[in-house]
Amino acid sequence: MMNNRKKILIPVKESVRNYLNALTELDCDVTVSDILCDPVDFDGLLLPGGEDVHPERYNEEVDGSMKMDPELDELQLQTMDLFVKAGKPVFGICRGHQLINVYFGGTLYQDMENAKHHVYDHVNQKDNRHLNTAEEGSFIYDLYGGEFATNSSHHQAVKKIGEGLHACQYADDGTIEAMYHETLPICSVQWHPERMCFALKRDDTVDGSLVLRYFLEEMCKQ
């Protein structure tokens, strides 16, 4: 009997428990690796959340970036390069959303002026939340409609959009919250769908499993 479970790679150096839990619920096989892996062994690449991308990657000095890890930047950018060249799907979440933008020559706001609207809510010990609008006809619009709420936990954001990328979701303050590539099987979200589904599903946001399913069932089609 053939195994039709999607095989997804997450290139990281530490635990990604919430991602593993969500993807396991969606019946796929996940490999977490801190070394380069051959894209031929996988159906797709997931670039997860994490600390700030070093601004040297987009030719800037440090000006608000924190807790950077150049080795992780190198691992994830090299891995993405292999998947892009192999024509394999890539999905980015939070840091991954920003890393995709940097890969294609974009830049980041190193410390957003309105960061308090987006950062983790330490008082209530949970992700922040805000409203969004999606561009009609985009993958996000098809999944969630034109207006909806997501969680939020970041102080950086996409500034100059990378070559070939198209923004399709915006927070209520104009922050770019989702993108897709115009010709490649690549898309990303600034929010954390893995913390908006299954055991971590929230009553005040949309269901994050829908965009994860989109990655697995639509982008990773064979």
Give the catalytic positions in this structure.
94, 192, 194
C-alpha distances out from residue 101 to 26, 182, 193, 197, Å = 27, 13, 19, 25
Q: Which conformational region is residue 29 in: left (phi greater than 0), alpha (psi within -120 to 50 degrees), or beta?
A: beta
The whole-angstrom distance between residue 122's C-alpha and the CA centroid of its chain comes to 22
Q: CA 105, CA 47: separation in Å to the nearest integer?
A: 17
- Contact by Cβ (8 Å): 67, 51: yes
Note every long-range contact of 200-207, with CB atoms under 8 Å and residues 24 or more positions apart, other chains counting: 200/18, 200/21, 200/22, 202/129, 202/151, 204/129, 204/149, 205/129, 205/148, 205/149, 205/150, 205/151, 206/144, 206/148, 206/149, 206/150
Q: Which conformational region is residue 97 in: left (phi greater than 0), alpha (psi within -120 to 50 degrees), or beta?
A: alpha
